[in-house]
């Protein structure tokens, strides 16, 4: 018997003007020490556009329901699935869920969520952040028209987490992975180092900055110092060091 949708999921979806459904875990794969891939079957439309994420209903250590947001790595309309990449280098309800979920489990999903998608007018695209942004980065970059350019500057806990992918021939791709080397998650040093090692291409660029709350703020300033204007920097904070994400899956912004 298919589990009924949690009433709060329906209410939330209606308030946000999006959709919700109970999806079934189709596969779970650990891609690296800190990264899991979870494919969910049941309603691919929840995956939205490249750059979008979904809200997943999970439970905390006391069994209370809460939600976490995860970027969609892939949407397969033919198979009616969405695939999420979920980082587990921390303790929390989302990380606990993905470590223990099994094929056949059912989960409430609300989506699609998020306002950041690829800027089709840009000549080059800079994807900057940590492992939490990889799913969105790669999915957006796969839609860049040749002969565009995609630049990735990504901080990873270890180089084992430096997952790569393939792109259409003719797309200019530059990848810089920076190892964290024990730095705190709110320490921007690694991304600042990677950013300083790269010269921006000519013509119009767009930056997509997905990382920890305070790191996003610091790197956004660094990008402006490098000559980008506000409209060329799109930011998203996935989490905030020292504070659990709120019940809507986003970090507190106060």
Distance, CA of 70 to CA of 8 (rounded, Å): 19
The residue from 113, 134, 164 where one domain ends is 113
Distance, CA of 250 to CA of 254 (rounded, Å): 12
Query: Same structural domain for residues 107 and 129?
Result: no
Q: Count up the domains in the chain and report the number.
A: 2
Query: Same structural domain for residues 233 and 128?
Result: yes
- Burial annotation 50-77 (CB, 10 A radius, 16+ → b, else e): bbbbbbbbbeeeeeeebbbbbbbbbbee
Provide the pLDDT for residue 172. Answer: 96
Structural domain harbouring 135: 124-239
Look at residue 96 and tell me whether its pLDDT is greater than 80: yes
Give a yes or no: residue 106 inside a domain. Answer: yes
Residue 144: is it exposed, middle or buried by C-beta count within 10 angstroms (0-12/13-18/19+)? buried
Query: Same structural domain for residues 28 and 98?
Result: yes
The predicted-structure confidence for 149-181, as pLDDT tens digits, reads as follows: 999 999 999 999 999 999 999 999 999 999 999
The predicted-structure confidence for 109-161, as pLDDT tens digits, reads as follows: 999 999 999 999 999 999 999 999 999 999 999 999 999 999 999 999 999 99
- Give the ranges where the chain is alpha helix by DSSP (H): 7-16, 93-100, 134-141, 189-196, 213-225
Query: Same structural domain for residues 135 and 215?
Result: yes
**pTM of the predicted structure, to 2 decimals:** 0.96
Domain of residue 30, CATH code = 2.40.30.10
């Amino acid at each position: 018997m298919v589990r009924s949708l949690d009433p709060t999921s329906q209410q939330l979806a209606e308030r946000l003007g999006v959709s919700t459904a109970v999806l079934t875990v189709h596969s779970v794969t650990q891609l690296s020490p800190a990264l899991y891939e979870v494919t969910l079957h049941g309603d691919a439309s929840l995956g939205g556009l490249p750059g979008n994420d979904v809200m997943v209903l999970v439970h905390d250590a006391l069994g209370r329901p809460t939600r976490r947001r995860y970027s969609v790595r892939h949407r397969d309309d033919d198979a009616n699935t969405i695939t999420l990449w979920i980082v587990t280098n921390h303790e929390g309800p989302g990380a606990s869920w993905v470590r223990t979920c099994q094929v056949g489990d059912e989960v409430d999903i609300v989506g699609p969520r998020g306002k950041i998608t690829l800027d089709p007018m840009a000549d080059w695209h800079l994807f900057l952040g940590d492992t939490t942004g990889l799913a969105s980065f790669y999915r957006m970059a796969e839609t860049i028209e040749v002969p565009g350019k995609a630049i990735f500057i990504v901080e990873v806990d270890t180089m084992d987490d430096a997952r790569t992918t393939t792109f259409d021939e003719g797309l200019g791709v530059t990848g810089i992975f920076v190892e964290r080397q024990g730095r705190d998650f709110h320490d921007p040093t690694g991304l600042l180092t990677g950013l300083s090692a790269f010269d921006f291409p000519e013509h119009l660029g767009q930056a997509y900055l997905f990382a920890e709350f305070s790191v996003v703020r610091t790197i956004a300033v660094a990008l402006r110092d490098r000559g980008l204007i506000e409209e060329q920097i799109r930011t998203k904070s996935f989490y905030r060091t020292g504070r659990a994400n709120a019940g809507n899956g986003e970090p507190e912004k106060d």
